[in-house]
Amino acid sequence: MTAIAVLGSTNMDLVAYVPKAPRLGETVTGRAFRTVPGGKGANQAVAAARAGGEVVMIGAVGADEFGVRLRSALTAARVDTAALRTVEGASGTAHITVDDEGGNSIIVIPGANAAVTGLEAGDEARIAAAGALLLQLELPLSAVLAGARAARAHGVRTVLTPAPARPLPADLLAATDLLVPNEHEAAALTGLTDPLQAAEALLADVPEVVVTLGAAGVLYAARGREPLTVPAPRVRAMDTTAAGDTFVGALAVALGEGRPMPEALRWASAAAALSVQRPGAQDSMPTRAETDAFAAAQRGAAS
Ligand code: ATP
C-alpha cells in the first residue's frame, strides 16, 4: 500500500445557504445551514485514503466540539490521526456563504492550524516512512517549509498545492518536487494567464507541474519533456467543492504505486470527475473501486 503523509489544515466548514449574500450591514434570512469537515489538508488526506493509500495526517485541531468531529471524520476514513494534535482554543473554521447562483464568499479563521509552526517529535520519522508528503498553504509557512525540507532530506516526493495563493519563498520551491496549482493559482504565481506559459515559467523553480483546469482537465509539464494535456471525463458537475483535493490525493497514491505519470493523471482525473457529481467535500470523494470502475469505463469509451 502506498504510504502518504499529509501536513496540513483541518477546518470545520460552516456553510450558510442564502438566496443572495448579505451586503455590509444587511441581514438576510438563509435557507439552510450545514457543518462539514474540511480544510485542504484533511480533504487531501481523506481523498488519498479513499484512493487506497495508507495515510497519516500531521496537523492540529482545537480543544472544542469541532475538533472532536474533525478527528473522527479522519479516523472514519481510516486516516491515522496519532500526529494530529489537540491544542488549546478553537479549531479552524471556514465560514462559507453559498447563494442561489452557486457563488460563494468565505472567511477562514485558522484557529488551531495557526499553532502548527513546525514539526514535532516523531513527525520527521512519519514523513520519512511515506512515499509522498502532501502540502498546502493553510498552515503557517514555517511548518510547510519544515515539512518540505524533512521530506527532501529523506528522498520523499513533496507535492505542494499552492492554495490559498500567495508568493512562494525560493526555499520552499527548492524543496518541492511536484507543484499542483489550479489555473488561477498558476496565474497568481507567475503573472501569466495562459496555463501552458505559466506551467513552463514554474519549471524554472520546480521539476514538475500539474495545472488543474476544472472541466477542461489538467496540464502536465516537466523539465525536458513535451507538455501533456489530459482532458477531464465529460460529466454533469453538481458540486465541485474539493475537486482539486480529490485529484491530488488520488494522484499521489497512483504515483506512489509506480504508475507512469500519464496513467496516474487519467486515474486521478477519473476520481475528481466522480467527486464533482456528488455534493459535499470529503463525502463526495470516491473509493478506489469506484475510481477503477469509472476509469475503465472511460478507457472503454475512448477505444
Ligand atoms: P476546488 O477548489 O473546487 O477543490 P480547484 O479549483 O482546486 O478545485 P479545479 O481545476 O477546478 O481545481 O478542479 C480540479 C480537477 O477536478 C480538474 O483538473 C478535473 O480533473 C476535475 N474537475 C473539476 N471540475 C470538473 C468537471 N466539471 N468535470 C469533470 N472534472 C472536473
**What ipTM score was computed for the predicted complex, to two decimals?**
0.98
Q: How many CA atoms lie within 13 A of 181 on its CB side?
A: 30
Cell numbers of 252, please? 499521489
Structure confidence at residue 40 (pLDDT): 97
pLDDT of residue 60: 98
Model pLDDT, residue 280: 82
140-153 per-residue burial string, b: 16 or more CB within 10 A, e: under 16: beebbbbbbbbbbe
- Closest Cα partner for 55 from 85, 82, 92? 82
240 pLDDT above the threshold of 90: no
**Residue of 182, 267, 278, 283 to mutate, ligand 1, most atoms within 8 A of C-beta:** 182
What residue segments make up the domains of the chain, in order of their start? 3-21+31-302
42 has binding-site annotation: yes
Interval between CA 34 and ligand 1 midpoint (Å): 22
Pick from 230, 246, 247 the residue to mutate for probing ligand 1's pocket: most ligand atoms within 8 Å of its CB: 247
The confidence score (pLDDT) of residue 271 equals 98
pLDDT at 76: 97
What cell does 297 get?
A: 469505463
CATH match of 3-21+31-302 with 3.30.565.10: no
Mean per-residue pLDDT for 269-297?
94
Q: Is the pTM of this model over 0.95?
A: yes
**Atom 17 (ligand 1): residue with closest C-alpha?**
214
Question: Is 57 touching ligand 1 by the criterion CB < 6 Å?
Answer: no
Interhelix angle 243-256/40-50, nearest 10 degrees: 50
Q: How far is the CA of 195 from the centre of ligand 1 (A)?
A: 15
